[in-house]
Amino acid sequence: MKIDKSPETIHKMFNSVAQRYDSLNNLMSFGTHNYVKYMSIKNLDIKPHDSVLDLCCGTGDLARIVKKIQPEAHVTGIDFSEKMLEIAVSKNPNIPARQVKYIQGDVTDLPYDNNSFDFVTMGFGLRNISNAEKAVEEAYRVLRPQGCFLHLDFGKKNIVSKIYDKTTPLLIRLASGNSISYSYLINSKKIFPLPEELIKDFESKGFKLKKREDYLLGVISAQIMTK
């Protein structure tokens, strides 16, 4: 299966779904994505004043959860879709110390020095990047030694996952009248490596596996890697 993952196409697609992204995520996952995101961040044991970079932050779910769990952390979210970022920024609280800093940028070319962050996170992002290897290399480069990289995305391709693949486009069509972007989601999910393959890819870039956590019968998987 060939999918167009050129940065231009992906950028345009996320800009066009940005307004509906959160509500469709809630619908497609029956709200469970919030639980999975919360649990995977909780696993990281982020301390006050730790620095956290959320790659492909989108509308800011993971970055906000970090701030909720550890309000004293310094959190930056980066994404190339200005429309997704507009929504993320609009969700920042009024108190400056409680805010996430959002930056527009490409995660395959991060504007940070080597070893800059204690944690790097990425949820449901890598699957959309044509040069995924470069994004992983960049995550490794900006992470400090012994820091943690959390990668979260779809995992096992089991019966639950297959039911999801069949029902999602239908749900989206009923809810929004447009299933084009979400057919992309299903197709990108089908060709995305399994968690065990991803771990090998991450290890080939220098990461070491700290922990793997599977959620929702393995449909979603988190890999926590150290540098």
Ligand X SMILES: C[S@@+](CC[C@H](N)C(=O)[O-])C[C@H]1O[C@@H](n2cnc3c(N)ncnc32)[C@H](O)[C@@H]1O
The residues that touch ligand X, with contacts defined as CB under 6 A, are 7, 10, 14, 56-58, 61-62, 79-81, 84, 106-108, 123-125, 128-129
Q: For residues 24 and 225, which CB has a smaller minimum distance to ligand X in the complex?
A: 24
Q: Is 58 left (phi over 0), alpha (psi -120 to 50) or beta?
A: left
Residue (of 225, 199, 195) closest to 211 by Cα position: 225
As measured in angstroms, the least distance from the Cβ of 124 to ligand X is: 4
Residue 192 · residue 127 · CB < 8 Å: yes
Q: For residues 26 and 208, which CB has a smaller minimum distance to ligand X in the complex?
A: 26
Q: For residues 79 and 118, which CB has a smaller minimum distance to ligand X in the complex?
A: 79
Contacts of 125 (CB under 8 A, 6+ apart): 55, 56, 58, 107, 135, 153
As measured in angstroms, the least distance from the Cβ of 131 to ligand X is: 8
Q: For residues 14 and 97, which CB has a smaller minimum distance to ligand X in the complex?
A: 14
As measured in angstroms, the least distance from the Cβ of 215 to ligand X is: 13
Contacts of 6 (CB under 8 A, 6+ apart): 130
Q: For residues 135 and 199, which CB has a smaller minimum distance to ligand X in the complex?
A: 135
As measured in angstroms, the least distance from the Cβ of 109 to ligand X is: 8
* Bridge partners (DSSP) listed for residue 176: none
As measured in angstroms, the least distance from the Cβ of 207 to ligand X is: 19
Residue with tokens 């926590």: 224
Question: Burial, 148: exposed, middle or buried (Cβ in 10 Å; 0-12, 13-18, 19+)?
Answer: buried
**Closest residue (Cβ) to ligand X?**
58
